Amino acid sequence: MRCLEGKITGFRAGGKRLMMENETFRVGSRLRQALAWEGVVGCRARLWVRGDRLVALFPLDPPTGPEGVLVCMVKACRRRGAAETAARLEQGGLEVRRVKCLDECGRGPNVCLLPGKVVVNRVKDAPGRKSQAQKSGP
C-alpha cells in the first residue's frame, strides 16, 4: 500500500475512477457512496492506494459541497430503525439521502453528516426518549 498527496483533478465513469494529477485510481462502491464528489474535486487530499485501487481518502482542505445526511438502509440498519430515523430527519428539515452501506453495520442505524463526512452510530430517536448517538472514529 502506498500513500499519495496531491490535488484531486476529477472523476470518470460515473465516479468509479478518481483522478489525481496524472494518475487514475479505481473507487469501490462503498467509498463512492460515502464521498460528496462535488466537494472533493479541486481539493488537496491524502490517498491510500493498493495497486490502482483507492483504499482511503483523507481531505486536507476544509470540506465543501452539499450539506445533508446520508442514512444507511441495509438490512441490519433497517432492522434497528433506519427508515424511522430518516423520516424524522426529513421532518426536521434536513436533506436526507438513503444509501446502501456506510461500512458500520454492527453499530446501526448509521448516518453520515455532510459535508464533513462524520459517521454517527446507533442513531435512535423515538417519541418520549432522548436521542442516543455515538460518534465513530477518533
- Per-residue confidence (pLDDT) for residue 134, from 0 to 100: 45
Cis peptide before 62 (omega within 30 of 0): no
3-class DSSP state of 73: coil
Q: Average pLDDT across each block of 10 residues of the chain; the chain has 138 residues. List them in order.
A: 88 76 82 61 84 83 70 88 89 84 80 79 59 46
- Per-residue confidence (pLDDT) for residue 33, from 0 to 100: 63
Q: What is the pTM (predicted TM-score) of this model?
A: 0.49
Which superfamily does 68-135 belong to?
Glutaredoxin (3.40.30.10)
**Residue range 2-59 in CATH 3.40.1400:** no
**C-alpha distance from residue 128 to each of 12, 38, 68, 111, 131 (Å):** 47, 38, 25, 21, 10
Delimiting residues of CATH 3.40.30.10 domain(s) in the chain: 68-135
- Per-residue confidence (pLDDT) for residue 132, from 0 to 100: 45
Delimiting residues of CATH 2.40.50 domain(s) in the chain: 2-59
